[in-house]
Amino acid sequence: MSLLVVGTVAFDAIETPFGKTDKIVGGAASYIALAASYFYKSIQLISVVGDDFPNAFLDTLKAQGVKLDGLQIKQGEKSFFWAGKYHNDLNTRDTLDTQLNVLANFDPVVPADFKEPDFLMLGNLMPLIQQQVLAQLTKRPKLIVLDTMNFWMDTSMDELMKTLSMIDVLTINDSEARQLSGEYSLVKAAQKILDMGPKVLVIKKGEHGALLFNKEEVFFAPALPLEEVYDPTGAGDSFAGGFIGYLAKTKDISFENMKRAIIFGSAMASFTVEKFGTERLIGLSQEDVEDRVQEFVDLVQFDISLV
């Protein structure tokens, strides 16, 4: 059994109403792998960094059980860098700088012993690169989860649609679901998107929780009301990591189990936003995670018997 994670490992510089960071470690795959590692230990990472990337963070990933054989380190090149500034409501942000660097020519190579993963998490990346990973697998994974964003809808819609036809679960946010479907109602949007390939759709609504759809059912998971949200960066990736990590751990991809997985994903996201970058996802205990999940149970649990 294994979980393959594909996505960026990179630098971010973040400004929120609560403070400002220099270059810190970020990237979709960093958050996904860390969040998943609290549930599942056989994780392999596919990504690329420059020689400017800190070994300390790679050691952290290794310590969490993440295998880095698929991480290319490009000598003489720089890691992907993104800088952004969040508005006061933390729901919207401006991109201040994007330097593709090593990502510009990223040619993902799946190591021989990871060509048959049971679970595959395709973090946000160019749809073509996501396809290149899929093409190298020698057996279809039991579950393929894809995260993407509006940027690829604007610039690579044909490639994105092709990728969508190859996956099982899509995770996007509410405005992306509206853009992809052309429908304002998320219920209608979900049905249109489920016709594009995915069997399951997760619509992430940030502080307003997340919706899980298949063709027949819908489930809603709240976000935890927090006193302080310092930095929303990586929340969606942490959510995806907790989601697929829990599914990989339990080896159960039923809709019922995906409901539980969404709660675990939401719990991991709720940690991430409490500090800048990946800081809060490092060094959590099993008890921390369980206590946090219990807060979600308490938040929405009510007892109505109609019969």
- Contact positions toward a second copy, by CB under 8 A? 88-89, 184-188, 205, 208-209, 211, 217-222, 225-229, 256, 259-260, 263, 290, 293-294, 297-300, 302-304, 306
Question: Within 13 Å, how many C-alpha atoms sit on residue 285's CB side?
Answer: 3
Nearer of residues 82 and 264 to a second copy, judged by Cβ: 264
Nearer of residues 1 and 299 to a second copy, judged by Cβ: 299
Minimum distance of a second copy from residue 300's CB (angstroms): 5
Nearer of residues 67 and 205 to a second copy, judged by Cβ: 205
Nearer of residues 97 and 302 to a second copy, judged by Cβ: 302
Find the DSSP H helices in 140-214: 150-155, 157-164, 174-181, 186-194
Strands 200-204 and 210-213: antiparallel
CA 43 to chain centre: 14
Nearer of residues 67 and 260 to a second copy, judged by Cβ: 260
CB 119 within 8 A of CB 3: yes
CA distance to 43, 82, 224, 263, per residue, from 303 (Å): 39, 46, 20, 19
Minimum distance of a second copy from residue 179's CB (angstroms): 14
Nearer of residues 133 and 273 to a second copy, judged by Cβ: 273
User: Can you tell me the distance from the alpha carbon of 69 to that of 223, in angstroms, rounded to the nearest whole number?
Assistant: 35
3-state percent helix, strand, coil for the chain, nearest multiple of 5: 40, 25, 35
Minimum distance of a second copy from residue 223's CB (angstroms): 9
Bridge partners for 146 per DSSP: 122, 170
Minimum distance of a second copy from residue 266's CB (angstroms): 11
Angle between helix axes 255-272 and 286-300 (nearest 10 degrees) is 110
Minimum distance of a second copy from residue 187's CB (angstroms): 5
